[in-house]
Structures are given as structure tokens and as C-alpha cells.
């Protein structure tokens, strides 16, 4: 029986809203959307918004465009610390809380007149505070509930620290998107001599919490999988967490193999670098790091040192959050551009079509492996 090909009309007039700090990726998404839709070069889907500040640091949002009938997609990077505002005569960097508050202001500025509002928040606000282990707040769940209470219909995030947090809003749209295909594609482009087979390459998870994403890489690439587990000292709290006493490896022999370390984020990078050093001691060949979000909260010097000592070879993170010019200039760093992927998701959703095929990139990964000679057609 032939499958019916449904051709949906647009849900509403497409509009992209760029929060402060997202101007670069918003312009790239806009560029691809204009290509997809054959729009004039001087046209734009980005509508003007502003969040001016008073001298005390208080703010408001102003939408300089009609809101009626819009299918609005708001791009928000809550972790862009390069954005500042003036308070009592001093420049203050915007915290994640400041960004999230501005996001709510923009949603409020629509005044309920938009046809639909979708928030694209690549790194989920308070995503690491996703569960309660003692008498403490559940910030991520509260944030999601706030957004849907304000009228947001869909929330799109990338590589959520724990996607089960969507249980906080079970009746509303929540999509957790992975950067798997783009990571593999950039690895093949950057390291053309890599051999993605069981004899030469292995996937390694830096902790038990990241096994889910590593199992996916292992499955689609047909590679063996290893794992480190963190032995922590639960009697002490340092910088808000229990310090790691040691990393223990579980897996087969890695001697002479290229290794791909996969995690959702690099915060300080200390754990990742410690694991890389231990893998080198066990005889690993080259070590490549895949991480959707590169925060590098303690700077780049330690990564420079490990690269110069041959303990890491390349670090791949996406442009979904702010990247410093210093990071982009590093020889060991590779930026994975996600703008076209976001544009595809936006274009598909605006036409009210399913994004299931975009969320599962298994077929595209197989095709790219064939293209680069890693698999037979």
C-alpha cells in the first residue's frame, strides 16, 4: 500500500527571535532558512527585539514587530558570559539567571498573541540540577514548568544532561536533540586517516552517566565500548560536589587503538584530561574528545599542556554555546557547526511536519561512513 505524502502548510508566519549572545548563530540559521525557502538575500526571518536595562539593572523586553500570527522560535544561550549590562555604572556579565529572566521577558512581550512559541535552548538552563537527592531545589524542572505556564508550546534542547527531566512537563513538547552525526562528520573531515572499525578505534565513556550516548555511538559505528567510573569521596564537599578520588577503567585492551571520549559537556575539563592521561598510560594511540558543550570554565591552559604532551589530539565541541576567540584559535580545537541542523528543525516544524527523521540520524551516519570509505555501499 502506497504511503500518503502529507504536505502541510505553514503553522504560522515564521519568526526567529535572537536573545542577546545568540546573534551569530541566529544569523547563520537565518541564512540557511533563506536558502531552503529561496527568499531574497536582503530578507530576514529574524524579528527585532531588545531588553533595555535601567541604571539599577532592572530590565524589560520590547518586541519591535507585530506578534499576531507568528510561529516564533526563540534562540537562547543561557551560558554566554560574554554579554554584559551596566548596573550602577559598572559593567556586569550576564549570568544564566539573567539570560533566563530575559527569555521570560521576551515571551511576556508577545502578550499571548503569537500563534505558537518554541524555545530553542541548546544547553538546558539548570540542566545539571535535574533531580533531588536531599532537601534541595529542582531548578530545571521548575524552569520548564515556568516556560510552559507562560505559553511556550515546545522546548528544544541538545544533549540534555538527563532527558528524563522532561517528566516535569509531560503534556508539552520537549525534544532532546543529539549532535552525533555532525560530530562524526567533522571527525572524518578533520582526521582523514582514522579507521572507524573494531580493530583500530574504540568509544570510551568518562563515567557511568554518559553510557547512553556512548552506546549509541558504539552501535551506529560498530565499535567496542569502554567505560570509566568515578570513585568519589562522599564524606567531603568541595565546590558544591563530592571530589573524585580515582577513575577506574572497565573495558577490553586499548593498546594501539584510537579512542573517542564522549561526554555531554566539558566544564573545567579536569576529569576528561585525567582520563585521557590514564588511557595513554594503558597504551592508547590517539585520543579524540567529543563534547556537545565546551564550557572551559577554568581556561584553556591545561588543554594546551595536554595537547603539547601528546595526551590529547583533538577536541570537538559545537557552536551551540558561546566560543571565545582564544578557543577558536587553538590547534587542538575543532568547532562543530550546528546552524544548518537547527535551520532544518525550524523549517520542518514551521511546516508542521514530523522531525522524527531529523532526531534519529542513523541513516545519515551510514551514508557519511560510505562517502568517506569507512563502509561499503
Report residue 345: phi and psi, to 5°. Answer: -65, -45
pLDDT at 231 exceeding the cut of 80: no
The rounded distance, in Å, linking the Cα atoms of 316 and 291 is 6
Q: Which among 326, 328, 324, 344 is positioned nearest to 336, based on CA atoms?
A: 328
Which residue shows C-alpha cell 551510514? 366
How many percent of the chain have pLDDT more than 90?
80
* pLDDT of 187 above 70: yes
Q: Is the pLDDT of residue 294 over 80?
A: yes
pLDDT band at 377 (very low <50, low <70, confident <90, very high): confident
Is it the case that residue 172 has pLDDT exceeding 60? yes
Look at residue 133 and tell me whether its pLDDT is greater than 60.
Answer: yes
User: Is there a contact between 300 and 317 (Cβ–Cβ < 8 Å)?
Assistant: no
Place of cell 524589560: 60
Residue with grid cell 563502509, as numbered in its chain: 375
pLDDT digits (tens, 9 = 90+) for 62-110: 999 999 999 999 999 999 999 999 999 999 999 999 999 999 999 999 9
Weakest-pLDDT range from 1-5, 213-217, 224-228: 1-5
User: Residue 237 — very low, low, confident or very high, per pLDDT cuts 50/70/90?
Assistant: confident
- Is the pLDDT reported for residue 16 higher than 70? yes
Residues 6+ apart with CB under 8 A from 270: 298, 302
Provide the pLDDT confidence category of residue 6 given band limits of 50, 70 and 90: low
SS3 34: helix
Query: Positive or negative, the Cα torsion across 311, 314, 320, 322?
Result: positive
DSSP state of 159: S
Maximal CA-CA distance, the chain? 70
Q: Which of 52-56, 207-211, 243-247 has the largest mean confidence?
A: 52-56
- pLDDT higher than threshold 80 for residue 59: yes
309 CB contacts (<8 Å, ≥6 apart)?
none
In this prediction, what percent of the chain has a pLDDT beyond 70?
97
Q: What kind and span of H or E run contains 100? A: helix 96-109
Quote the pLDDT of residue 1: 52
Mean pLDDT of 16-36: 96
pLDDT of residue 2: 55
- pTM > 0.75: yes
- Cell 529561496 belongs to 38
**Residue 241 clears pLDDT 80, i.e. is over it:** no
> With the CA atoms of 160, 161, 163 and 167 taken in that order, what torsion angle do they form, in degrees rounded to the nearest 10?
-120
Would residue 244 be called left, alpha or beta, if left means φ above 0 and alpha means ψ between -120 and 50 degrees? Answer: beta
**DSSP for 257-288, written as a single string:** -EEEEEEEEESS-HHHHHHHHHHHHTT---EE
305-362 per-position pLDDT tens digit: 999 999 999 999 999 999 999 999 999 999 999 999 999 999 999 999 999 988 889 9
Amino acid at each position: 500500500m502506497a504511503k500518503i505524502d502529507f504536505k502541510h502548510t505553514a503553522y504560522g508566519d515564521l519568526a526567529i527571535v535572537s536573545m542577546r549572545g545568540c546573534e551569530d548563530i541566529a544569523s547563520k540559521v537565518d541564512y540557511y532558512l533563506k536558502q531552503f525557502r529561496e527568499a531574497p538575500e536582503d530578507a530576514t526571518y529574524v524579528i527585532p527585539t531588545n531588553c533595555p536595562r535601567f541604571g539599577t539593572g532592572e530590565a524589560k523586553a520590547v518586541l519591535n514587530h507585530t506578534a499576531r500570527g507568528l510561529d516564533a522560535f526563540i534562540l537562547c544561550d543561557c551560558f554566554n558570559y560574554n554579554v554584559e549590562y551596566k548596573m550602577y555604572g559598572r559593567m556586569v556579565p550576564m549570568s544564566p539567571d539573567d539570560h533566563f529572566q530575559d527569555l521570560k521577558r521576551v515571551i511576556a512581550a508577545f502578550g499571548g498573541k503569537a500563534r505558537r512559541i518554541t524555545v530553542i535552548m541548546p544547553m538546558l538552563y539548570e540542566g545539571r540540577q535535574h533531580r533531588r537527592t536531599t532537601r534541595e531545589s529542582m531548578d530545571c524542572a521548575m524552569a520548564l514548568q515556568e516556560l510552559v505556564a507562560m505559553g511556550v508550546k515546545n522546548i528544544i534542547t541538545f544533549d540534555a544532561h538527563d532527558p528524563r527531566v522532561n517528566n516535569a512537563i509531560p503534556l508539552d513538547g520537549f525534544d532532546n536533540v543529539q549532535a552525533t552525526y555532525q560530530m562524526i562528520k567533522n571527525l572524518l573531515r578533520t582526521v582523514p586517516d582514522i579507521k572507524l572499525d573494531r580493530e583500530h578505534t574504540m568509544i570510551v565513556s568518562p563515567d557511568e552517566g554518559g553510557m547512553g550516548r556512548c552506546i549509541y555511538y558504539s552501535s551506529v559505528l560498530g565499535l567496542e565500548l569502554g567505560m570509566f567510573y568515578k570513585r568519589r569521596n562522599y564524606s567531603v564537599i568541595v565546590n558544591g560536589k563530592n571530589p573524585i578520588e580515582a577513575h577506574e577503567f572497565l573495558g577490553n585492551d586499548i593498546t594501539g587503538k584510537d579512542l573517542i571520549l564522549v561526554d555531554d559537556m566539558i566544564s573545567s575539563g579536569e576529569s576528561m584530561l585525567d582520563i585521557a592521561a590514564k588511557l595513554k598510560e594503558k597504551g592508547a594511540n590517539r585520543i579524540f574528545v567529543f563534547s556537545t558543550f565546551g564550557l572551559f570554565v577554568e581556561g584553556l591552559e591545561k588543554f594546551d599542556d595536554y595537547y603539547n604532551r601528546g595526551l590529547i589530539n583533538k577536541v570537538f565541541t559545537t557552536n551551540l554555546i558561546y566560543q571565545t576567540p582564544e578557543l577558536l584559535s587553538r590547534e587542538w580545537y575543532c568547532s562543530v557547526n550546528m546552524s544548518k541542523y537547527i535551520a532544518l528543525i525550524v523549517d520542518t516544524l514551521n511546516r508542521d511536519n514530523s522531525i522524527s527523521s531529523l532526531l534519529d540520524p542513523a541513516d545519515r551516519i551510514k551514508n557519511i561512513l560510505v562517502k568517506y570509505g569507512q563502509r561499503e555501499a
